[in-house]
Amino acid sequence: MIRVVGNRTRAAIIGSQRITGLTPDVIAELVAEVGPLWHERHQAVLTSRPRRRAVGAGAKHKLIFVDRLLATLVHLRHSTTHDVLACWFGVDRSTITRAIGEVRPLLAQRGCTVAPDICLRTLAEVVDPLGVSGQTGIIDGTEVRVRRPAVGRKDREKFISGKNKQNAVKSMVVPSIAPAPVPSTT
């Protein structure tokens, strides 16, 4: 039996800032801004091809837009696999893959992007580009559990988290934020 995320579960995801990294107010703003864009794109795809049935006929979405957005935010924040999200939201893995593929470009248009292939190793490498552009950044650090490296590997000790007593890799996300406009004194 397929179970779609209920209102209680959705409220718990939105209410816990640890899951998405965003406050409920910010999520509401994203839904208000990105939701209509997603709906317009979806309708444009439906009307752009020749159809045998009327627009709107056929199977309905198993994930409403809010759930699609939440799945994308959780995936971006925790690098959660599509299989895990599919179990969590009670849909097939391909539905999650399609949802993330649809929502992520819309978030990028709004300015919420994750730059691919950038690996900053020191704090100076993180701070210098922000200072040059006049932007500020928020650092979000997350520990991701990993399998224990092989016995003969020379860097084996680097993967041990002393506090949590587990093998982990630490990843940090630094979204840049434009500075607040300075009010003019004239």
Shared-domain flag, residues 104 and 138: no
pLDDT digits (tens, 9 = 90+) for 24-35: 888 898 899 999
Q: Is the pLDDT of residue 2 over 60?
A: no
Only one residue has tokens 């009670």, namely 90
The Cβ-side half-sphere exposure at 51, using a 13 Å CA radius, reads: 13
Shared-domain flag, residues 94 and 15: yes
Q: What is the DSSP letter of 76?
A: H
Q: Is the pLDDT of residue 130 over 60?
A: yes
CA dihedral 134, 139, 144, 150 (to 10 degrees): 60
Shared-domain flag, residues 165 and 103: no
Shared-domain flag, residues 161 and 74: no
Shared-domain flag, residues 106 and 16: yes
| Residue 58 domain boundaries | 7-110
pTM summary value: 0.60
Examine residue 166 and state whether it is found in any structural domain, yes or no: yes
Shared-domain flag, residues 27 and 71: yes
Examine residue 184 and state whether it is found in any structural domain, yes or no: no
136: helix, strand or coil? strand
Shared-domain flag, residues 96 and 20: yes
Shared-domain flag, residues 106 and 127: no
Shared-domain flag, residues 61 and 145: no
- Report the number of distinct structural domains present in the chain: 2
pLDDT digits (tens, 9 = 90+) for 107-129: 888 777 655 556 666 767 767 76
What confidence score (pLDDT) does residue 53 get? Answer: 79
Shared-domain flag, residues 73 and 148: no
Shared-domain flag, residues 92 and 138: no
